[in-house]
Amino acid sequence: MKYEDAVATYDPALGIEVHVELGTATKMFDDAPNTFGGSANENTTPTSLGLPGALPVVNRMAIEYAIRIGLALGCQIAESCRFARKNYFYPDLAKNFQTSQADEPIAFDGSIDVELEDGTIVPVAIERAHMEEDAGKNTHVGGASGRIHGADHSLVDYNRAGVPLVEIVTHPITGVGDRAPEVAAAYVRTLRDIFRALGVSEARMEQGNVRADINVSLRKDADAPLGTRTETKNVNSFRSIDRAVRYEIARQAEILDQGGAIVQETRHFHESDGSTSSGRPKSDADDYRYFPEPDLVPVAPSRDWVEEIRAGLPELPAARRRRLLDDWGISELEIRDIINAGLLDPVEATVVAGATPDAARKWWMGEIARVAKQREVEADGLATPANVAELQQLIDDGKLNDKLARKVLAGVVEGRGTPSQVMEADGLQIVEDTGALEAAVDEAIAANPDVVEKIRGGKMQAVGALMGPIMKATRGQADAGTAREMILARING
């Protein structure tokens, strides 16, 4: 069934579970380094390997990060909460239980506003944000395409085992109708931006720092009880989230239209065609034999500590965006592009350093981003906001034109000094010596009588044909406006 028909007939409801890996120095319950990559099983201790006798100890920084997240999502912070064991057997789970929080999340009852592309605000109610540890990673060897089916053996890497996670669970998101896919993607994007602003995670979707499980159900109308849901696991790009929701709505509508019933199950998303396929049945009766983790004492963050963390929260992305939109007078789309490029910090700092918002945006999103892409490095490592503000100032002062400024920037990127220093060293400043410019103009006029003839005849755009030889003669350092005035004065004077 077509998506448009599906949403015309049914009212979709969403439930989204987002896992974020915290960027703490060490793991959730031991002092193994929490770093991405490394050789297999390098970042482990007896605790993260689940060796007999090893015990967990809660990482205080992980608690602080979880509280930051909770506060940023408008949640209440538990006065005391216990970890619980979620018991199930799987080779990537070293202890064959995951230490998580079952009934006692550290943060609960929050809400955030999600802003869609057109400025529509959708409030999303947060049920809870709880802490847990990540599992290791299985690699299946010998079969087709790394799947377990047909593999000869599997390897387990526990480097990720014990990495601290916060899982954020929404209440059902209803009443968004045909905008459900967009809302789902925008919600996860909003969280991603918050994680980055809070400094709790690098929040790189492509590295799996942020993973989303998307629950979708349909019902006939807004008054009907929620329908049976499916949970599409580990969707990890905004576009994929949009596509997965869209696909599930259409798929479920078709089944319901034919009088069928939705099977409650987990589903896998396929990037290749945007479809989902059946995973394993998931009933609410899954029995993980939860019980409070007896090896840990309850986490009881003092109210003073919570308030201290609250007072130290940075300006959150939504507030910052609104402030910058007001101050800068740029469009939603423009600011969104800057945010997506991860360049809001340097752009804002460049504005603070004296550049206009337009100029700051132009440099960072243009030339600097281009060079960064070419060199496969981060743009904000190539130049400082002060460099960029200074470069623009040189243009505004008439000492550089755009072309020269790009040459100066290249020198700055190479680490040869500030823009002024590079400009001086390379003699790139615009030629103000009118003698040299006059000579170049005269030479160009003398060498191109046919062009001169056209200009005399009123074809003013022919002036451009003289600019090339003039710029060439002055090594690009001529100020184009001045040269133009001189040409017209000579010919028509």
Partner 1 sequence: MSQDLTRLTAAQLADGMRAGEYTSTDVTRAHLDRIEATDDVIGSFISVTPDVALATAADVDRRRAAGEDLHPFAGVPVSLKDVVVTAGIRTTAGSKMLEDWVPPYDATVYTKIKAAGLPVLGKTNMDEFAMGSTTEHSAFGPTRNPWDTTTVPGGSSGGAASSAAAFQAPLAVGTDTGGSVRQPAAFTGTVGVKPTYGSVSRYGIVAMASSLDQVGPLGRTVADAAALHQLMAGHDQRDSTSLSDGVPDFLAAVEAGARDGSLQGKRLGTIRELSADDYDEGVRAAFVSALELARKAGAEVVEVDMPSLRYALDAYYLIMPSEASSNLARYDGMRFGLRAEPETGPVTAETVMSTTRAAGFGAEVKRRILLGTYALSAGYYDAYYGSAQKVRTLVQRDLAAAFEKADVLVSPTAPTTALPFGVENDDDPMALYLGDAATIPANLAGIPGMSLPAGLANGMPVGFQLLAPAREDARLYEVGSAIEALVTDAAGAPLWAGVPTDYAAESATTSA
- Report DSSP letters for 73-116, one per residue: TT-EE-SSB--EEEE---TTSTTSEEEE-SS--SEEEEEEEEE-
Secondary element (H or E) of residue 125: strand 121-133
Residue 296 binding partner 1, by CB under 8 A: yes
CA dihedral 39, 139, 264, 220 (to 10 degrees): 70
Smaller CB separation from partner 1, 155 or 369: 155
Residue 147 binding partner 1, by CB under 8 A: no
Smaller CB separation from partner 1, 88 or 327: 88
Strands 121-133 and 164-170: antiparallel
Q: How far apart are CA 160 and CA 487, in angstroms?
A: 69
**Piece of 53-61, 229-237, 343-351, 386-394 that binds partner 1 (CB under 8 A):** 53-61
Residue 295: CB minimum distance to partner 1, A: 5
Which residue of 5, 25, 42, 51 would you call a contact of partner 1, by CB under 8 A?
A: 51
Residue 278 binding partner 1, by CB under 8 A: no
Smaller CB separation from partner 1, 80 or 96: 96
Residue 156 binding partner 1, by CB under 8 A: yes
Residue 78: CB minimum distance to partner 1, A: 18
Give the gyration radius of the chain's Cα atoms: 30
34 DSSP 8-state letter: -
Smaller CB separation from partner 1, 94 or 405: 94
Residue 156: CB minimum distance to partner 1, A: 7
Q: How far apart are CA 147 and CA 10, in angstroms?
A: 36
Smaller CB separation from partner 1, 55 or 319: 55
Residue 289 binding partner 1, by CB under 8 A: yes
Q: Token pair for residue 283?
A: 């009933």
313 DSSP 8-state letter: P
Smaller CB separation from partner 1, 82 or 321: 82
Strands 265-270 and 230-235: parallel
Residue 52 binding partner 1, by CB under 8 A: yes
Q: CB within 8 A of 426, min separation 6: which ones?
A: 407, 408, 411
**Piece of 42-50, 360-368, 444-452, 453-461 that binds partner 1 (CB under 8 A):** 42-50
Which residue of 40, 54, 365, 463 would you call a contact of partner 1, by CB under 8 A?
A: 54
Residue 246 binding partner 1, by CB under 8 A: no
215 alpha-carbon distance from chain centroid: 22
Residue 149 binding partner 1, by CB under 8 A: no
Asked whether 338 and 349 are in contact (CB, 8 A), the reply is no
Q: How far apart are CA 410 and CA 392, in angstroms?
A: 14
Return the amino acid letter for 326. Answer: D
Which residue of 4, 37, 39, 89 would you call a contact of partner 1, by CB under 8 A?
A: 89
Asked whether 166 and 65 are in contact (CB, 8 A), the reply is yes
Smaller CB separation from partner 1, 66 or 71: 66
Q: Nearest Cα to 477, choosing from 416, 377, 402, 382? A: 402
Residue 208 binding partner 1, by CB under 8 A: no
Q: Nearest Cα to 440, choosing from 479, 391, 392? A: 479
Site string for partner 1, 97-136 (x = CB under 8 A): x---------------------------------------
Smaller CB separation from partner 1, 96 or 111: 96
Residue 172 binding partner 1, by CB under 8 A: no
Residue 58 binding partner 1, by CB under 8 A: yes
**Piece of 82-90, 123-131, 330-338, 386-394 that binds partner 1 (CB under 8 A):** 82-90
Handedness of CA 394, 399, 403, 409 (dihedral sign): negative
Task: Compute the residue count for the chain.
Answer: 493
Residue 76: CB minimum distance to partner 1, A: 25
Smaller CB separation from partner 1, 56 or 419: 56
Smaller CB separation from partner 1, 50 or 74: 50
Q: From the CB of residue 218, how many other CB atoms can be counted at a distance below 10 Å?
A: 25
Smaller CB separation from partner 1, 31 or 327: 31
Residue 294 binding partner 1, by CB under 8 A: yes
Which residue of 38, 91, 146, 312 would you call a contact of partner 1, by CB under 8 A?
A: 91
Residue 81 binding partner 1, by CB under 8 A: no
Residue 183 binding partner 1, by CB under 8 A: no
Q: From the CB of residue 424, how many other CB atoms can be counted at a distance below 10 Å?
A: 13
**Piece of 19-27, 88-96, 307-315, 367-375 that binds partner 1 (CB under 8 A):** 88-96
- Report DSSP letters for 357-403, one per residue: HHHHHHHIIIIIHHHHHHHTS-GGGTS-HHHHHHHHHHHHTTS--HH
Footprint on this chain of partner 1 (rule: CB under 8 A) = 46, 49-58, 85, 87, 89-91, 94-97, 154, 156, 285, 287, 289-291, 294-297
